[in-house]
Structure 1
Amino acid sequence: MDSLTQIVLGAAVGEAVLGKKVGNKAMLYGAIAGTIPDFDVFASHFTDTVSALAIHRGFTHSIVFSVLFAPLFGWLVSRYETYKSFKDWSWLFFWSFVTHPILDAHTTWGTQLFWPFDLRLAFKNIFVIDPLYTIPFLVFLILAMRQKRTTAKRRFYNSMGLIISTTYLAITLLLKWVAYTKFEAALDTQNIAYLDIDTRPSPLNTILWSANVQTENAYLLGNYSFFDSQPITFDSYPKNHELLGDLIEDESVKRMIAITEGWYTINKKEDTLYFNDLRFGLLSLTPKAENFVFKFRLDVDASGHVIFTEEPKDNRDAKKLLTELWHRLKGN
């Protein structure tokens, strides 16, 4: 999830663990702890694109990280804070650390919660930024913050924030299931033979859902809104995996295919190959658009290794997409 949401979650968890004893300092340290797992994004400054993608939401988003580093941060804070309980501070950091990847596991990218095992959890039931999740949560956190640390009202407001946000998260799982059944029914009605379906919410909401459908030689992309009155339609994008040729044996290519879990297409333009990550869809709802959110140019260096370079995004595309999503969300 976005940084603000993780700060709010960390602060609320910190309050639940230690707020009655240390007041707003529990929220402060919980908020700090809620952002620490995302420090792995700095890996992009020290390594190649593929390695940075593999590292992101890896070790720092695992139970192992929470167990190892919570006592360290707990010890550091207990050394200079008036409240000296090493155990309590460690417990605060542990829960603020571990709830971060648990929430991230519900997004499209997912997390390696059980690192070092090669298992990425990605339930794909909530977009990385969702105002309906964050705003009520933030409001209740602010209300709790304004109360004295020992009052019942403070605990009530903080608990309500945690309960409402968690309930909404559970509802999105139900919405995902309903959307999945709609896509499945549409494919059956249209007599489309498919190998797999992958569904996710569109940006900033859980009303409009997107699906990637794998067929033998292509991927079908479709959208469904709970306000739709017309049948779901699908646009076909050829896999073109054969364009990789011998590059399929390159380690970076293998790692990228593993990262995308096989949801990718290849394009060729002016003798240059492009690797498209389908998991995050397109920057346009225009049929047959090839403007994927994550698109990488493939170059071969002097030693014969493949170098992935992410294609820059145009802010105008993002603004256009939000307008298109708003109109599509209201139904077809």
Structure 2
Amino acid sequence: MDSLTQIVLGAAVGEAVLGKKIGNKAMLYGAIAGTIPDLDIVASYFTDTVTALAIHRGFTHSIIFSVVFAPIFGWLVSRYEAFKDIKAWSWLFFWAFLTHPILDAHTTWGTQLFWPFDLRLAFKTIFVIDPIYTLPFLVFLIFAMLQKRTSPKRRLYNNMGLWISSSYLVLTFFLKWVAFTQFKSALKAQDISYLQIDTRPSPLNTILWSANIETKDAYLLGHYSFFDTQPITFESYPKNHQLLGDFIKDESVQRMIAISEGWYTITKKEDLLYFNDLRFGLLSLAPKSQNFVFQYKMERNDYGKVQFTEAPKDKRDGKKLLADLWIRIKGN
């Protein structure tokens, strides 16, 4: 999830663990702890694109990280804070560390919660930024912050934020199931044979859902809103995996295929190949758009290895997409 959401979650967890004993400092340290797992993003400055993608939401988002580093941070903080209970500080950091990847597991990218095992949890029930999840949570956290440390209302407000946000997460599973059944029904009605289907919420909401459907030679992309009155339509995108040629033997290419979980197409522009990760969809709702959210240029470096470079994004595309999404959410 986005940084603000993780800060709010971490602060609420810190308050739940130590708020009665140390007041707003519990929120402060919880907020700090809630952002620490995302420091793995610095890897992008020191390594290649593929390795950075593989590292992201890996070790720092695992149970092992929470178990190992919580007591270390607990001990460090206890050295200079007046409250000296190492166990209590460790407990705060442990839960702030652990709830971060658990929340991230609900997004499309997912997390390697059970690192070092090669298993990425990605429930794909919530977009990485979701105001319906974050804003009520933030409001109740602020209410709690304004109360005295010993006030029963402080704990009530904090618990309400935790309960409402958690209940919304549970609801997203039901919403995903409803959307999934609608996509399956549409495929059946249109007599479309497919190999697998993958669904996810569109940006900033859980009303409009997207689906990737794999067929033998292509992927079908479609959208469904709970306000739709017309049948779901699908756009076809050829896989073009054969365009990889000898690139398919390269280790980096194999790693990218694994990272994308096989949901990718290859396009060719001006004699250059581009790897399109379909899991995150397009930056446009226009028919036959090739403006994928994550698109990587592929070319051999001086050592003969395939190098991936993420294609730049135009901010205007993002603004146009948000406007189009608002219209599409209202129904087809």
Equivalent in the alignment of 1:167: 167
Pairing 1:249-268 to 2, within 5 Å after superposition: 249-268=249-268
Partner Cα separation in structure 1 for residue 9 and residue 15 of structure 2? 10
Equivalent in the alignment of 2:237: 237
Report the AA paired with residue 121 of structure 2: L
Partner Cα separation in structure 1 for residue 206 and residue 132 of structure 2? 9
Q: How far off its partner does 1:304 sit?
A: 1.4
Report the AA paired with residue 269 of structure 2: K
Equivalent in the alignment of 1:65: 65
Tell me the TM-score normalized by structure 2.
Answer: 1.00
Residues 121-158 of structure 1 show CA distances to partners (whole Å, capped at 9, x for unaligned) of: 00000000000000000000000000111111000000
Equivalent in the alignment of 1:306: 306
Equivalent in the alignment of 1:113: 113
Residues 148-173 of structure 1 show CA distances to partners (whole Å, capped at 9, x for unaligned) of: 11111000000000000000010011
The number of residue pairs the alignment matches comes to 332
Partner Cα separation in structure 2 for residue 179 and residue 143 of structure 1? 35
Equivalent in the alignment of 2:49: 49
Pairing 1:213-228 to 2, within 5 Å after superposition: 213-228=213-228
Partner Cα separation in structure 1 for residue 39 and residue 78 of structure 2? 23
Report the AA paired with residue 211 of structure 1: A
Residues 59-118 of structure 1 show CA distances to partners (whole Å, capped at 9, x for unaligned) of: 000000000000000000111111100000000000000000000000000000000000
User: Which runs of no fewer than 5 residues in structure 1 stay unpaired?
Assistant: none
Residues 160-216 of structure 1 show CA distances to partners (whole Å, capped at 9, x for unaligned) of: 000000000100110000000000000000000000000000000000000000000
Report the AA paired with residue 17 of structure 1: V
Equivalent in the alignment of 2:101: 101
User: Which runs of no fewer than 5 residues in structure 2 stay unpaired?
Assistant: none
Equivalent in the alignment of 1:208: 208
Residues 235-260 of structure 1 show CA distances to partners (whole Å, capped at 9, x for unaligned) of: 00000000001111100000000000
Q: After TM superposition, which residue ranges in structure 1, 4 or more long, deviate above 3 angstroms?
A: none
Equivalent in the alignment of 1:148: 148
Equivalent in the alignment of 2:284: 284
Partner Cα separation in structure 2 for residue 67 and residue 237 of structure 1? 44
Report the AA paired with residue 329 of structure 2: L
Report the AA paired with residue 242 of structure 2: E
Partner Cα separation in structure 2 for residue 303 and residue 125 of structure 1? 41
Report the AA paired with residue 207 of structure 1: I
Q: Does 1:317 align with 2:292?
A: no
Equivalent in the alignment of 1:180: 180
Q: Secondary structure at the match of 2:317?
A: helix
Report the AA paired with residue 331 of structure 2: G
Report the AA paired with residue 251 of structure 2: E
